[in-house]
Amino acid sequence: MKYEELVKTIVNNVGGKENINSVTHCVTRLRFKLKDESKANTDTLKNTDGVITVMQSGGQYQVVIGNHVPDVYSDLMAYAQIKESNSVEEDQSNKDKNLFNAFIDTISGIFTPVLSVLAATGMIKGLNAMFVAFGWIANTSGTYQVLQAAGDSLFYFFPIFLGYTAAVKFGVKPFVGMVLGASLVYPNIAAVPGATDPLYSLFQGSLFESNVHIEFLGIPVILMSYAQSVIPVILAVYFASKVEKPLQRMIPDVVKTFLTPFFTILIVVPITFILIGPVATWAGQLLGSLTLFVYDLSPILAGILVGGFWQVFVMFGLHWGMIPIAINNLTVFGSDPILVLSIGTPFATAGVVLGIIIKTKNKKLRALAIPAFISSIFGISEPSLYGITLPRKKTFFATLAASAVGGMIMGWLGSRVYLIGGLGIFAIPAYIDPNADGLTLGFYGAIIAIAVSFFLGLILTLTIAYDPKIDSEENKEDNLKPDTIVSDFEIASPIEGEVMPLSSISDTAFSSGLLGKGVAIYPTVGKVYAIGDGVVSTLFPSKHAIGLTLDNGIEMLIHVGMDTVNLNGKYFDAQVAQGDTVKKGQLLLTFDIESIKKEGYSVETPVIITNSDQYLDVVESEITLAKQDFTLLTVIN
């Protein structure tokens, strides 16, 4: 696995595999749902190479990785052997969440799996609209029809996709969720209102006046247009989760496989058409009208608020609550004026980061900032946010200011988004009104806002927002003379005892060197000491093994005995806790050698450098009897 060491560190510091309920990922971060977040080593993770930062929000423990997060996620799933599920049935931590966090978590869990495909198909639709607007193709041509089918199919059948992801989220059989979504867009049902005259009308003279075209067992069915809808299918699947569970308990095992989905679908589909669908649609219409009402009060103020605070929303996961509103507005009104107000943010971020690249003399910062700048241009601003702008504070506020001005311009000129498309520069076609004759003022407003956000962020950074002196201390390491650079690290023994080759251990995972290079010690004194200043990166609950991350970057594991995990902490006494900062020579752990041996366990103890692949070599010393101050290993840098 390419990211094996990073994955091991992440898993160990979120509390181990047993503390993970589920994990998903978005474009830049791993989103864990942990049983107990207090067990996570946040400070250690934040200082881990390969981790940009850690955020705790919306009931999720978010480890920000960067653009290569899908590869890290894949390795993590393989290493931790976690099934790809984020069912609330499996997540007992939901009980401890407040309603707001639970809502954000639910929305993100449903939309995250489909977000990349949503962006991809939206880009195809946007390009198709752009080709027509520029007169390159006609909307009656075969080329247009094929591209529209590729881009619009997900949006038209969106309830089916959300049926699947909502089913996973709510603990329903995924194909049952898909059937519920498919029933909402079933062609023969969808065509009924236009093919027949209404039987009668309900709620005449009110906001909810509706024609009735069909009945189910004599009950009126109000048919709505559910293509591209969001709320009805989510509520239907949630209701199905409440139906399916008691059916699972009631139906005999021998027929449960097919009778449970049979009765679930038979109950939920009619109720969805009769009650859930109409009520959810009306609720969606009200929600869309409310957002537009707020926007109509002052588009400029709305632009300043949404644009200016968008990165704050992203930091705390609050932006997830706006995505279904935007999709609902697109479904009900054909466009959304709210989400578009945030599009200046990645470009403002890119401008700020470019200013830092120009001004800084710190080689390490520039090397980090260049890929972050490119990422921001393509709409992924988290690497810039967490790795560059936020730690320097003023540059973060410069980003917010530039984004607010961009949002204000879009609000003023009436920019709207007409589909959920790509990110960054790939989102530009989404601002083209497909029903307009050519490009509108709103489209030009979006382009102007993007340019202003970028250049304002750049100017603020070059003038007042960034002082390169704040990074000068970090640059000292780059200015060291060659003869002052430390190339080797001598590692003292953490345990007193007889030194043996690592290959002599019976456990092949250690003896083969798969877990890292090192030696084994047969202890004569049951004490483990810190061999340098650093952090306790890992302390197993059974206390039989402890991991250290030293200040010089070396990561070490001391594993007392073979299979001693089975003792569940018996005969072990930890003097520190996971996440503690320790000093060289500090007592970390004590253990009773004789009692462990009487239980039938070997006390041979591997002492390994777990990140040895990051160094040229790890060389064993020639000593046969280790004392606390004796050099045990030499790490060649």
Active-site residues, by number, are 26, 559
* H or E, element range at 490: strand 488-492
Asked if residue 331 lies in contact with residue 232, where contact means CB atoms within 8 angstroms, the answer is: no
- Show Cβ contacts of residue 69 under 8 Å, excluding neighbours closer than 6 positions: 25, 26, 27, 28, 29, 30
Return d(Cα 380, Cα 424) in angstroms, integer. 7
Return d(Cα 34, Cα 631) in angstroms, integer. 40
Give the three-class secondary structure for 537. Answer: strand
Return d(Cα 554, Cα 613) in angstroms, integer. 11
Q: How far is CA 503 from CA 155, 205, 450, 481, 536, in A?
A: 58, 85, 60, 39, 26
Structure tokens that stand for 97 in this block = 């969440």
Measured at the CA of 88, the angle between CA 54 and CA 320, to 5 degrees, comes to 50
- Show Cβ contacts of residue 149 under 8 Å, excluding neighbours closer than 6 positions: none
DSSP one-letter code for 336: B
Structure tokens that stand for 547 in this block = 């991991």
Return d(Cα 180, Cα 445) in angstroms, integer. 40
Measured at the CA of 392, the angle between CA 454 and CA 376, to 5 degrees, comes to 35
Alpha helix stretches (DSSP H) within 201-322: 231-250, 253-271, 277-297, 299-315
Asked if residue 432 lies in contact with residue 126, where contact means CB atoms within 8 angstroms, the answer is: yes
DSSP one-letter code for 464: I
- Show Cβ contacts of residue 63 under 8 Å, excluding neighbours closer than 6 positions: 10, 14, 29, 30, 32, 45, 51, 54
In 3D, which of 407, 410, 227, 420 has the Cα closest to residue 326?
420
- Show Cβ contacts of residue 310 under 8 Å, excluding neighbours closer than 6 positions: 319, 341, 342, 345, 403, 407
